[in-house]
Structure 1
C-alpha cells in the first residue's frame, strides 16, 4: 500500500533496456497477461513504442 492508501501492483515490467519490437512485444504481452505496472521513463527513449503497445493492448480484445 502506498502512503496515499492506494495499492500498487506487486509485479511489473521494466523497460530500461528494451527497444523497437522487443519493447513492443514485451510490453504488449505483459499487459495481455495481466501486468498493470510498467516502469518507464523519458530517458529510456522508448516511450513511443511503449505507448503503441499500451494502446493496442487496451483497444484489442483478449485473444
Structure 2
C-alpha cells in the first residue's frame, strides 16, 4: 500500500508532526479541541496559548 493512498485523518492530514501541529494551530479553536479532549477524559486549560495546548494534546489526539 502506498503512502499516497492512505486515508486522511482530520487531525493528522500530513505525515510530518510539525506540519500537523501547524495545521491544528491554524484550523481549530480552543473550544473545538476542548470537545475532542473531553472524549478522552482530558481537560485543557483554555487560558494557555493555542500552541501550548496543541503540543500537550497532540499525542492524545493523533
**TM-score between both structures, scaled by the size of structure 2:** 0.29
* Larger relative contact order (CA 8 Å, sep ≥ 6): 1
Whichever structure has more helix as a proportion of its residues is 2
Please state which structure has a larger fraction of its residues in strand.
1
**TM-score, structure 1 length as denominator?**
0.28
